[in-house]
Amino acid sequence: QVQVVEFGGGLVQPGGSLTLSCAVSGTSILFAQMAWYRQPPGKQRNWVATVENNGATSYADSVKGRFTNSRDVAKNTVNLRMNSLKPDDTAVYYCKLTTPQHNTWGQGTQVTVSS
């Protein structure tokens, strides 16, 4: 059974940094497309970043240059490093695993950017 669990959310001041992690069990992240999405309060869920199974990365314009999505193969985990955080980054952040056999979401982790 494939499972995806996010952790690392919390409260951070504007301009601060935070790293979210997405731990995968039941398959290797090397075989998967791993994506991050976020859902601000009262708004729809939007795509943030992706790392493909070949290691290629892509980012939404709103986070490009501030967020870095990377794989830790030894831990079978994907990490989203978020720098220069803004209040508009406040959202529940979700990790999504996609393979030909699976399309699995995590439960989400809250990130709040506020002074």
pLDDT in tens, 83-102: 999 999 999 999 999 999 99
For residue 77, give Cα distances in angstroms to 24, 53, 62, 100.
Answer: 6, 13, 24, 19
Record the tokens describing residue 113, joined without a space: 């950017």
Burial class (CB in 10 A: 0-12, 13-18, 19+), 65: exposed
For residue 61, the model assigns a pLDDT of: 98
Q: What whole-number percentage of the chain has pLDDT above 90?
A: 100
pLDDT in tens, 58-73: 999 999 999 999 999 9
Record the tokens describing residue 93, joined without a space: 């952040």
Report which of 59, 98, 105, 108 is spatially closest to residue 82, judged by C-alpha positions. Answer: 59
For residue 16, the model assigns a pLDDT of: 98
pLDDT in tens, 100-109: 999 999 999 9
Task: Give the mean pLDDT of the chain.
Answer: 97
Record the tokens describing residue 42, joined without a space: 């009262």
Which of helix, strand or coil describes residue 95? Answer: strand
Q: Any idea how long the chain is?
A: 115
E strand or H helix at 20, and its extent? strand 18-25
For residue 60, the model assigns a pLDDT of: 98
